[in-house]
Amino acid sequence: MANPVYVVDGARTPFLKARGEPGPFAAADLAVAAARPVLARLPFAPSEIDEVIVGCVIPAADEANIARIIALRLGCGKHVPAYTVQRNCASGLQALASAAERIALGQAHLVLAGGTEAMSRAPIQWNHAMSGWLAQMMRAKSLSGRAQALVRFKLSYLQPVYALLLGLTDPLVKLNMGQTAEILAQRFGISREEQDAYALQSHQRLAAAFDDGSLAGEVEPLYDTRGNVALEDNGLRRDSDMQQLAKLKPVFDRKYGVVTSGNSSQVTDGAAMLMLASEEAVKRHNLPVMGELKGHAWAGVDPSQMGLGPVHAVARLLAARKIQMNDLKHLELNEAFAAQVLACQAAWASGDYARDELGLDAPLGSMDPARLNPQGGAIACGHPVGASGARIVLHMLHALRRAGGGMGVATLCIGGGQGGAMLVEAAA
Amino acid sequence: MKHLRQEHRDDIAILTLDAAGQSANVLSTEMLDELEQTLTTLAGQSLKGLVIRSGKSSGFVAGADVREFITITDPARATELARHGQQVFGRIAALPFPTVAVIHGYCLGGGLELALSCRYRIARDDASTRLGLPEVRLGINPGFGGTVRLPPLIGHLAALDMMLSGRALAAKQAKRVGLVDDAVPERHLERAAYAILRSDPGRRRPAWYRRLPGWMPLRPTVVKLLTRKVREKANAHHYPAPYRILELWQQDAGFEQEARSLGELLVSRTSHNLVHVFLLGESLKKRGKEGTHDIKRVHVVGAGVMGADIAMWAAHRGFEVSLQDRTPEILGRAMKRAHEFFQKQYRRDARAVQAAMDRLLPDVRGDGLKRADLVIEAIIEKAEPKQALFRDIEAKVPARALLATNTSSIPLETLSTALKDPTRLVGLHFFNPVAKMQLVEIVRGEQSSETALARARAFTTAIDRLPLDVKSSPGFLVNRILMPYLLEAVRLYEEGVPGPAIDQAARDFGMPMGPIELADTVGLDICLSVAQELAGPLGVEVPGVLRRTVDTGKLGRKSGEGFYRYDTKGHAQIPKTDATTSVPVTERLVLRLLNEAMACLREGVVQDADAVDAGMVYGTGFAPFLGGPMRYAESLGETGITHSLSRLAEEYGKRFKPDGGWSQPGLLQRRNSPG
């Protein structure tokens, strides 16, 4: 029997929308900012942590094994090992899953896990032709050799490579993530209006959550070095309405598309970090228990319809645990795109989909919309890819606790055609 | 040999300096003798080179033995001492084979002069390595050949800058100016030393343009220019040493003149007083080190100027610090300030800046309290909010956390009533700006436990500040002594003496800043509130002009106007004045200060006269060349002071009434006088 895995604390930074230039924080800065207050209020020293596991999709060139950098900067000391995980949009969830497995197996008692991403700092690189030319230049010893190399230079070598754009494009089916959402919109007949309405609701729900103080326990102020403090996700549009959303042009399939920047998740910087503990650690340090991680599941789907990943992952997770969709008090489905969230709902409701794709006799049923992302999601707050998986688990634990405890699932679609889902149960 | 070890590796001799029974090497007469003896033997051997290094982890050689200095009153003996050092180092310089000093940690004064006598120097490149000639700070010139050997090695202007400022250089800087031949990490230190001995490229010479200012016909002009700069920093009457260094250089003086000059300066009052002040600082440090603090995490409540600076300074010194205040915006400003400070402190070392920022947690909720080992309160100066805060703090912190207040006026006994365990509360009274003012008053409340006080002292030493024990009484030591002096200045101002004339008088006496400008700098509102706080218990009268000025919103430098006007950069717009006054300005200012200092001593606010001196010099910058107010009073004599005070009391009122302490024998005696 596996050991129980508890979440004892956690925090996230406000998510900062990328404004087309490198933001003030590196990915490691963000994770440190999120985890520091958590470590400050927990009763054990950072050096007592067994392992640090961090999800991050595009760490900077000077952030190799970013988890180790974060661990050392947090004062865990040289003896605490750390590693970085990458499962695209679910990297943060993967970090929690890996940490949970270590604890379940009794191999660790305290694991700091989460995710971080500074998408605004994704590098812009030289292309291969340029690298080759630079190498020739370096090799040329003589003046004439250099001159020859110089002559071979072409202007096209200066064409930069945007790592972020490549990262958001499926390398095999050559579709960008927005285009995979367009496919789902077409397949499940989801209109532009339905998507915009969903997006608007996401903003309204997140604004309400900030206003009623229910995010105070999970979002830590983020201080830069110039005297500025971020308290809220700055991509949140309190003034948005259907007219404004309707005016936006499609960004991925420009001519006929329905997916706009308004009904997609935002490119942002942010981090979320959680402290996971075994039963023994909880007892030893008398830790406050927020809830329990009760298992997770991964599933693969067609890369060109990667947004359906959650449909399969959740089905697999619920089946393994013999739980019905309706038993869940809360579902956090990461809002990569409004079309993708609505497509998942449609797929769960569909008998054909259940039979043809999931091999089930009856559909799971869609989630009650009131219980689906009730405080908004990535469309309003942003989707720092490495961090989102950790954010939705952390947020759901807080929300469930406020509601008096209960079960919930956090799930994400994953670029490359996967889905991940994690079952949590919050303490009352 | 007691202080030296000698070994040979192939044809290279290695001398390891390792003073017996001490944590650092100092050039005692004994060590110099041993060195001389060893060098005599080595000179006759056929060697390929000599390595001189230190066996101490703390550093190479920290300098000559300062404690030997003050025992010397005869200039001829001091000169003889210098000649001896010169002679030993001369032997090193005259060795027929190459020599190299391998330097790590402190390499100061006589230590650097030893290294200079070697043909080569290799420094370990890390944060602890510091090379300098700080003699000028003790009122003397380098005396073991430093003034002769340094200029031709690194160039004249660089050498004069080092000797006149007393500034120590880091390894990389030393490499840049040519003071060392190479600066390498620990892993290459030995190999670099052997390499330079084997290649023996010849003693370094600076570039021609660095040698140029040393051309004899140019020297008078250079000296004239530098004298102007020195004068801004040090009054020639108070601090003769820098002027003497310039003189020696201008004359291209040799070893003998250097030794004679040292002899004269070493026995001067200035030097003895500066050494006294230095040793006072050392003894405060030592007292701090007697206890252990066992503190890793510090929580500071209140991110105003003081709280933010204390937090920033503790983070700079390696502690994990959380800083709490009511809003994130206040903390944001504190973080910005800290970042600017760290950037300046660590120059271009971005990682060091990041590490310091990572140690400083802005903490609105007070999460840091849960694991804090020390909590420092620095909120508004009002008893009730402070008591409420301490009640809250005590409920949250671990049982063995030390609690401290930075209050400057509220009795600890009042604050401690809020606590279940009042023994854990002490005062840690910092001075503004924390990064510059070395003193911290360790305030002992009636209820403070010895353990708590010892921890507070040890912590203060750990953050490289000087802990001074004071009793919890109004104004403690420093503010209490300073206040009558400041109020007297305000009174003089009220009587019509121009502010600049008052300030000039104080500066001529040796104060770092005039009292009128000081009041403006501290903030007139703060002066007023401290004055009012002290008015009752000490029976001082607050001049009306102070209140009136504050009432009109003129608060000093921070509001752009107080007694003076300030430009947008905060520079005082001081009107020129050559008004002469028949009022004895200096006497009135200084005697009120001395009289209050005596009152503190008599009442036992501090342990002894040394403590008064240490407090005033390190807490206010009181004329160091005078050695502190009590040292100065001693030189004037109790009778003379009493007489002058009585005269002033007759003319200006009873505030000058001589304190009872002046007629008590033995108060001025020093219990642990280093002399």
pLDDT digits (tens, 9 = 90+) for A313-339: 999 999 999 999 999 999 999 999 999
Q: What angle do CA B489, B490, B491 make, to 5 degrees?
A: 90
Query: Across the A/B interface, how many CB contacts are shorter than 8 Å?
Result: 56
Average pLDDT on B301-321 reads 97
Is B565 within 8 Å of B574 (Cβ atoms)? Answer: no
Average pLDDT on B88-109 reads 97
B255-266 and B75-94 helices, crossing angle to 10°:
140
Comparing B117-121, B180-184, B206-210, B532-536, which segment has the lowest mean pLDDT?
B532-536
Contact flag B357-A225 (C-beta cutoff 8 Å) = yes
Contact flag A74-B364 (C-beta cutoff 8 Å) = no
Question: Is 80 exceeded by the pLDDT of residue A122?
Answer: yes
Task: Name chain A contacts of B335, Cβ cutoff 8 Å.
Answer: 223-225, 227
Domain B479-663 top-level CATH class:
mainly alpha
- Residue B336 phi, psi (nearest 5): -65, -45
Identity of the residue in B320, B363, B364 whose CB atom sits nearest the CB atom of A75: B320
3-state helix, strand, coil in chain A (%, to 5): 45, 20, 35
Residue of B nearest to A216 (CA): B365
pLDDT of res. B42: 94
Give chain A's end-to-end CA distance (angstroms, integer).
24
Q: Give which of B367, B396, B400 to mutate to test A binding, by max A Cβ within 10 Å.
A: B367
pLDDT of res. A146: 87
Average pLDDT on A74-93 reads 98
pLDDT of res. B674: 43
Identity of the residue in B332, B367, B370 whose CB atom sits nearest the CB atom of A227: B332
Q: Which of A381, A414, A176, A424 is nearest to A306 (CA)?
A: A414
Query: What homologous superfamily is domain B287-466 in, according to CATH?
Result: NAD(P)-binding Rossmann-like Domain (3.40.50.720)
**Which comes out higher in pLDDT, residue A109 or B544?**
A109
B367 close to A (CB below 8 A) = yes
**What is the number of other CB atoms lying within 10 angstroms of the CB of residue B231?**
12
Q: How close does chain B come to A74, measured CA to CA in Å?
A: 7
Q: Over the stretch B617-645, which tens digit does the pLDDT of each residue have?
A: 999 999 999 999 999 999 999 999 999 99
Question: Is 90 exceeded by the pLDDT of residue B296?
Answer: yes
Q: Which helix (H) or strand (E) holds B518?
A: helix B515-522
Identity of the residue in B331, B357, B370 whose CB atom sits nearest the CB atom of A41: B370
Contact flag B371-A40 (C-beta cutoff 8 Å) = yes
What number does CATH give the domain B4-267? 3.90.226.10
- Give CA–CA dist B145/B143, Å, rounded: 6
Per-residue pLDDT band for B673 (boundaries 50, 70, 90) equals: very low
Contact flag A74-B358 (C-beta cutoff 8 Å) = yes
Contact flag A223-B362 (C-beta cutoff 8 Å) = yes
Phi-psi map region of B66: left, alpha, beta (phi>0 left; psi -120 to 50 alpha): alpha
Per-residue pLDDT band for B95 (boundaries 50, 70, 90) equals: very high
For chain B, the C-alpha Rg in angstroms (whole number) is 27
**Mean pLDDT over each residue of chain A, to the nearest integer:** 96
pLDDT of res. A145: 86
Distances (CA, A) of A246 to A196, A263, B336: 7, 10, 41
Question: Is 80 exceeded by the pLDDT of residue B579?
Answer: no
Q: Which residues of B are catalytic?
A: 408, 429, 441, 479
Place of tokens 């634990």: A397
pLDDT of res. B670: 62
Task: Name chain A contacts of B339, Cβ cutoff 8 Å.
Answer: 225-226
Contacts of A41 (CB under 8 A, 6+ apart): A9, B367, B368, B370, B371
Q: Over the stretch B240-269, which tens digit does the pLDDT of each residue have?
A: 999 999 999 999 999 999 999 999 999 999
Q: What type of residue sits at position A343?
A: A
Per-residue pLDDT band for B61 (boundaries 50, 70, 90) equals: very high
Q: How close does chain B come to A275, measured CA to CA in Å?
A: 15
Strand partners, A425: A292, A407
Residue ranges of the domains in chain B?
A: 4-267, 287-466, 479-663
Per-residue pLDDT band for B665 (boundaries 50, 70, 90) equals: confident
Contact flag B335-A36 (C-beta cutoff 8 Å) = no
Task: Name chain A contacts of B333, Cβ cutoff 8 Å.
Answer: 227
Average pLDDT on B650-674 reads 82
Average pLDDT on B424-439 reads 95
Q: Over the stretch B477-505, which tens digit does the pLDDT of each residue have?
A: 999 999 999 999 999 999 999 999 999 99
Contact flag B333-A227 (C-beta cutoff 8 Å) = yes
Task: Name chain B contacts of A74, Cβ cutoff 8 Å.
Answer: 358
Contact flag A223-B332 (C-beta cutoff 8 Å) = yes
Question: Is 60 exceeded by the pLDDT of residue B671?
Answer: no
Q: How close does chain A come to B373, measured CA to CA in Å?
A: 12
